[in-house]
């Protein structure tokens, strides 16, 4: 028995005040009356027999019928096509549902399943919607099919158009689509048109073009695309034996996919095929997150956003997950309805989180393209935030295949994930930004790298064949300790030491030096005592090498003797340069080990090397462990540096060799609390977490005004307050009221006749950077 018929299907405007209906064969993309989005409505009045449907879909798994070989057309009772529709299919769908134990552990879950839509014929989920959209193009008698795309829709359309014998033109943003996707479109015979602009511009242009009726637009604004894509919900649930998972998580770009999943789940629920709805969560990339921003505004209880929500487009969306680099998603209203109806959430994740999640998915032997990894990164956050419980059933939808963007992968593993122009620098000045978070375990005997989930990874290839050329290294400042995390917390700051070295084979001197900025005339002087040169020689000696004669040009923004890791930065710069100049690959493990040996402690050097917030620890066997942890983008750092240097040796000498059990416990508790507060976004706990009993009290008397500054009471905007490293700079963690906070702390020194410099800094993400010139 066929349980449902589709002969009463039609197109309906989704706007509640309009709801206009149109026939299936009217070539429309939005409602001609009100411009609202259209969706297919199945008005069938035939009572559904859910059990019969489930049986039928099951039996088709073994059927030789070509339609049943498609994971979309197998569920044709849900589709608005008649039995004799001229189907254009590539046996799409049929994608696996994998267990992903490492990713589960990474997210803090007992188990996690990944529905890999990247296993479709053209390597993305788009095929499931393209089969129905191009079938509809055939029904309408279209000659040319078009789309705007970030790459996957284009590749998919080109393939299905080729199958249907239709002309295909695609509009893509120039320079923003991976080569693999462009290559696919060309191979399938698509006409590729590049525009100077982004996806949203391309979308606008293509919609204008599609006003010509001879052209058929198949972006996800086309409701027939959504119909095909919604069947993935059925396939996924069938793979779960119709046991509804608690959460399904999808990436969000133009939001057609979110809308399709929502529609699929809802229709299956209404047909009685499932007895409840899973919560549908959408995850966007931080730099292209207009939908997440809208959701956040609604969460803040804005009644306006509830009654008539509006999406504010992101004008210049930015993300390396180019598939979802979209600032004005077309289907946001449908997606919002789906999320709201299922009790889901919309969130955004950073580039770092996407890259790390992607690497973890790869380590499960699965892999995906960057946009897909937003799901796992998002799930980790949702678990942290208590939205998802460790024991719940969770499915992440991977939307694209790993081979869609191999450049990204190679760069990630070369520690040069992407090139980015630094603000305020000439446009030709491109820096390699490292965004890989690592946990490094450097054993005395073994050198193994492990990632956040404790997974051993191979040491990555590095290219340091720089002999004879000029090399520049840039190293961030760092704040150590952060209160209770004595000798174990390091935070990299956007204040840099930049050192450029040129080999000078004719020179008789071992090195010549020019330095500018902070520290000129002190330890950055051109003597053999110079810390950069000392670190270079130290590392070269360890490696049995000799540094060739060189010219060093240092530009330093990091004040010396100020507790901001200027020596750690000089050491990291020196060790890095020595390896590069000697054409020797030196792993991060060794850089960290040598640097720690020279510096005496690992917190500052680890932060300077890796960037971000790093927990560093000396292992029992003398090994160094450094774990890069999450640092929230919205917590900024105010550094108040009194104009009086405090030599580290003096600050160290002030410490007591013995501490009480109670004081040690106090600090251990607070250091643990600090990381927990960050991970769980409990920023209100940072105040308590930065209270220290091991060193600040002993050091605060060394500089007039420091005790007062450290006793600054809790006030609006101030999350935490501590001595930066050995001092005398004071570090305040803040979310707002930056000016007032900086002034209040500076005033404490001023009262004692000491001027100070107040800096508002962001946390440095990439860590040490190397550039060939
Ligand atoms: N993941 C991948 C791999 C994608 O290619 C896209 C969208 C998405 C997620 C987001 O899905 O737009 O339905 O929210 N790619 C489109 C394209 C925009 O042109 O290929 P969405």
* Residue 434 CB–ligand 1 contact under 6 Å: no
CB atoms within 10 A of CB 561: 23
* Local confidence band at 467 (pLDDT 50, 70, 90 cut-offs): very low
Angle between helices 50-59 and 223-239 (to 10 degrees): 80
Q: Do 230 and 208 form a contact (C-beta atoms < 8 A)? A: no
Query: What integer pLDDT is reported at residue 503 of this predicted model?
Result: 79
Ligand 1 centroid, distance to 214 Cα (angstroms): 26
Ligand 1 centroid, distance to 324 Cα (angstroms): 6
Query: What integer pLDDT is reported at residue 459 of this predicted model?
Result: 29
Ligand 1, atom 7, residue with closest C-alpha: 323
* Residue 251 CB–ligand 1 contact under 6 Å: yes
Q: Do 13 and 34 form a contact (C-beta atoms < 8 A)? A: yes
* Local confidence band at 469 (pLDDT 50, 70, 90 cut-offs): low
Query: What integer pLDDT is reported at residue 251 of this predicted model?
Result: 98
* Local confidence band at 93 (pLDDT 50, 70, 90 cut-offs): very high
- 624: β partners: 442, 618
Query: What integer pLDDT is reported at residue 528 of this predicted model?
Result: 62
Closest atom of ligand 1 to CA, residue 118:
3
pLDDT of 462 higher than 70 = no
Closest atom of ligand 1 to CA, residue 282:
14
Q: Determine the average pLDDT of the residues in 674-690.
A: 92
Ligand 1, atom 6, residue with closest C-alpha: 323
Most confident of 546-550, 580-584, 653-657: 653-657
DSSP 263-284: HHHHHHHHTTSSSSPPEEEEEE
* Local confidence band at 74 (pLDDT 50, 70, 90 cut-offs): very high
Q: How far apart are the two ends of the chain, measured CA to CA in Å? A: 72
Q: Determine the average pLDDT of the residues in 75-100.
A: 97
* Residue 104 CB–ligand 1 contact under 6 Å: no
The tens digit of pLDDT for each residue in 275-330 reads 999 999 999 999 999 999 999 988 876 555 566 789 999 999 999 999 999 999 99
Closest atom of ligand 1 to CA, residue 152:
20
Testing ligand 1's pocket by substitution, the residue of 152, 168, 217, 281 carrying the most ligand atoms inside 8 A of its CB is: 152
* Residue 398 CB–ligand 1 contact under 6 Å: no
Please, which residues have CB within 8 angstroms of residue 517's CB and are 6 or more apart in sequence? Answer: 554, 555, 556, 557
Ligand 1 centroid, distance to 40 Cα (angstroms): 21
What is the C-alpha to C-alpha distance for residues 523 and 531, in angstroms, rounded to an integer? 6
* Local confidence band at 542 (pLDDT 50, 70, 90 cut-offs): confident
Closest atom of ligand 1 to CA, residue 369:
3
- Per residue, the 3-state secondary structure of 751-763, as one string, reads CCCCCEEEEEECE
* Residue 156 CB–ligand 1 contact under 6 Å: no
Ligand 1 centroid, distance to 411 Cα (angstroms): 22
What is the C-alpha to C-alpha distance for residues 396 and 376, in angstroms, rounded to an integer? 7
* Residue 574 CB–ligand 1 contact under 6 Å: no
- Higher pLDDT, residue 450 or 506: 506
* Residue 323 CB–ligand 1 contact under 6 Å: yes
Testing ligand 1's pocket by substitution, the residue of 193, 261, 324, 338 carrying the most ligand atoms inside 8 A of its CB is: 324
């Amino acid at each position: 028995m066929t349980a449902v018929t589709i002969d009463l299907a039609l197109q309906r405007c989704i706007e509640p005040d309009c709801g206009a209906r149109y026939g299936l064969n009217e070539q429309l993309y939005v409602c001609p009356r009100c411009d609202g989005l259209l969706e297919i409505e199945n008005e069938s009045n035939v009572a559904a027999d859910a059990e019969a449907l489930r049986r039928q879909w099951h039996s088709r798994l073994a059927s030789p019928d070509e339609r049943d070989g498609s994971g979309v057309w197998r569920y044709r009772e849900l589709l608005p096509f008649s039995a004799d529709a001229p189907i254009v299919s590539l046996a799409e769908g049929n994608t696996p549902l994998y267990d992903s134990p490492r990713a589960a552990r990474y997210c803090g879950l007992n188990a996690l399943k990944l529905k890999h839509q990247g296993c479709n014929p053209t390597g993305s989920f788009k095929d499931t919607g393209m089969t129905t959209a191009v079938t509809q193009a055939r029904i309408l008698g279209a000659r040319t099919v078009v789309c705007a795309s970030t790459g996957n829709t284009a590749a998919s359309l080109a393939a299905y158009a080729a199958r249907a014998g239709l002309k295909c033109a695609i509009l893509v943003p120039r320079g923003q689509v991976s080569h693999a996707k462009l290559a696919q479109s060309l191979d399938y015979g698509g006409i590729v048109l590049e525009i100077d602009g982004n996806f949203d511009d391309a979308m606008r242009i293509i919609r204008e073009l599609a006003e010509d009726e001879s052209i058929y637009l198949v972006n996800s604004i086309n409701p027939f695309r959504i119909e095909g894509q919604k069947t993935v919900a059925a396939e996924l649930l069938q793979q779960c034996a119709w046991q509804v998972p608690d959460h399904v998580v999808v990436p969000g770009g133009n939001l057609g996919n979110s809308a399709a999943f929502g529609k699929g789940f809802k229709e299956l629920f209404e047909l009685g095929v499932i007895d409840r709805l899973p919560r549908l969560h959408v995850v966007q990339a931080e730099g292209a997150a207009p939908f997440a921003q809208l959701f956040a505004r609604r969460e803040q209880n804005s009644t306006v956003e509830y009654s008539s929500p509006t999406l504010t487009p992101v004008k210049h969306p930015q993300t390396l997950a180019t598939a979802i680099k979209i600032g004005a998603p077309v289907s946001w209203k449908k997606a919002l309805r789906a999320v709201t109806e299922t009790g889901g959430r919309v969130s955004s994740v950073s580039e770092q989180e996407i890259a790390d999640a992607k690497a973890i998915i790869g380590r499960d032997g699965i892999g995906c393209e960057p946009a897909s990894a937003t799901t796992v990164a998002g799930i980790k956050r949702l678990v942290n935030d208590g939205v998802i419980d460790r024991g719940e059933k969770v499915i992440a939808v991977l939307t694209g295949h790993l081979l869609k963007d191999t450049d990204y992968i190679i760069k990630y593993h070369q520690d040069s994930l992407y090139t980015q122009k630094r603000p305020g620098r000439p446009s030709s000045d491109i820096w390699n930004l490292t965004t890989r978070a690592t946990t490094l375990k450097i054993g005395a005997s073994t050198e193994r790298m492990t990632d956040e989930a404790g997974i051993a990874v191979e040491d990555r290839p590095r290219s340091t064949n720089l002999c004879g050329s000029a090399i520049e290294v840039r190293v961030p400042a760092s704040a150590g300790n952060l209160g209770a995390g004595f000798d174990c917390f390091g935070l990299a700051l956007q204040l840099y030491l930049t050192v450029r070295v040129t080999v000078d084979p004719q020179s008789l001197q071992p090195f010549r030096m020019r330095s500018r900025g902070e520290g000129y005339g002190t330890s950055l002087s051109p003597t053999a005592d110079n810390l950069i040169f000392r670190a270079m020689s130290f590392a070269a000696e360890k490696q049995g090498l000799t540094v060739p004669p060189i010219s060093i040009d240092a530009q330093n923004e990091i004040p010396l003797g100020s507790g901001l890791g200027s020596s750690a930065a000089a050491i990291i710069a020196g060790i890095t340069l020595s390896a590069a100049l000697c054409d020797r690959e030196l792993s991060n493990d060794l850089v960290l080990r040598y640097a720690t040996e020279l510096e005496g402690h690992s917190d500052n050097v680890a932060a300077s090397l890796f960037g971000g917030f790093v927990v560093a620890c000396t292992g029992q066997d003398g090994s160094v462990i450094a774990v890069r942890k999450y640092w929230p983008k919205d917590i900024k750092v105010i550094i108040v540096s009194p104009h009086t240097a405090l030599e580290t040796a003096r600050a160290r000498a002030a410490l007591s060799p013995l501490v009480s059990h109670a004081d040690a416990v106090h600090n251990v508790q607070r250091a643990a609390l600090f990381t927990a507060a960050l991970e769980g976004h409990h920023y209100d706990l940072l105040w308590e977490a930065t209270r220290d009993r091991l060193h600040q009290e002993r050091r605060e008397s060394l500089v007039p005004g420091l005790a007062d500054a450290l006793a600054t009471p809790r006030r609006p905007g101030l999350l935490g307050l501590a001595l930066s490293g050995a001092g005398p700079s004071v570090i305040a963690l803040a979310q707002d009221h930056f000016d007032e906070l900086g002034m209040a702390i500076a005033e404490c020194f001023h009262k004692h006749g000491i001027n100070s410099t107040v800096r508002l800094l962001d946390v440095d993400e990439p860590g040490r950077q190397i550039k060939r010139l």
